[in-house]
Chain A
């Protein structure tokens, strides 16, 4: 059973701090990794994608991938109250068709002003 695990939270950080969100996955041959943000009652919105080991930065967001340890993380610098949402980690295994992503249950982030 291929799984993606996330701490459900809530993770509470003060405004301006760094929020660190973590995700582990069970399928060692997973190839593609995605972070989605979902506001309550809204659709998931793609924030970052990462495919190779290391860091990938986009504005205030940095995705980190470590395939040997089977974890992927998302750092949000200078957190803002508008970043308060549920963050979903999604993984695509080598065997699945494109678009057949395995999602974690999400980590709820709360940024306090």
Chain B
């Protein structure tokens, strides 16, 4: 029973490097969401994607951050030129889609540490 799969579990990057976070949704789910959790802060919505489409990116920082969910393969959250403030836990969630009262199922997260 494969849930939402995220990798890597931990990612260490130096300032200025790129970070790539991967997420494979639960089987049968076609909707993917990325959230960020800063220390002592709540989960913050970043972006909502369906296959090959960005539906809502209202929570994405305007620069350095991008997300995709290609026809084949996992969803990717990409952070270019990372800074220390990007250090956080990044959670991916998925849902089947088709309902306005969607229940989200979260992956184990990627802990990004920027040195």
Q: Which residues of A contact B59 (CB under 8 A)?
A: 100
Tell yes or no: B69 within 8 A of A by CB. Answer: no
The reply to whether the CB of A7 lies closer than 8 angstroms to some CB of chain B is no
With A46-B103, A98-B31 known as contacts, the answer to whether A103 contacts B91 (CB < 8 A) is no
Size range of the interface on A? 20 to 34
**Number of A-B residue pairs having CB atoms within 8 Å of each other in the complex:** 71
Q: Which residues does chain A contribute within 8 Å of B33, judged by CB atoms?
A: 99-100
Beta-carbon contact of A49 and B103 below 8 Å: yes
Taking the complex as formed, is A75 at the interface, i.e. its CB lies under 8 A from any CB of chain B?
A: no
Taking the complex as formed, is A31 at the interface, i.e. its CB lies under 8 A from any CB of chain B? yes
Instruction: Say yes or no: is A14 at the interface (Cβ < 8 Å to chain B).
Output: no
Contact of B48 with A100 in the complex, beta carbons under 8 Å? yes
Q: Does B108 contact A (CB under 8 A)?
A: yes
Which residue of chain B has the shortest Cβ distance to A106 in the bound complex? B42
B31 touches A43 (CB 8 A): no
Looking at the assembled complex, report how far the CB atom of B38 sits from the nearest CB atom of chain A, in whole angstroms: 10
Which residue, of B44, B48, B102, has the highest number of chain A Cβ atoms within 10 A? B102
A43:B107 contact, CB within 8 angstroms: yes
> Are the C-beta atoms of B106 and A99 separated by less than 8 Å?
no
User: Given known contacts A46-B105, A99-B93, A100-B58, what 8 new A-B pairs fall within 8 Å (CB)?
Assistant: A43-B4, A43-B91, A44-B106, A98-B48, A100-B45, A102-B45, A103-B43, A105-B41
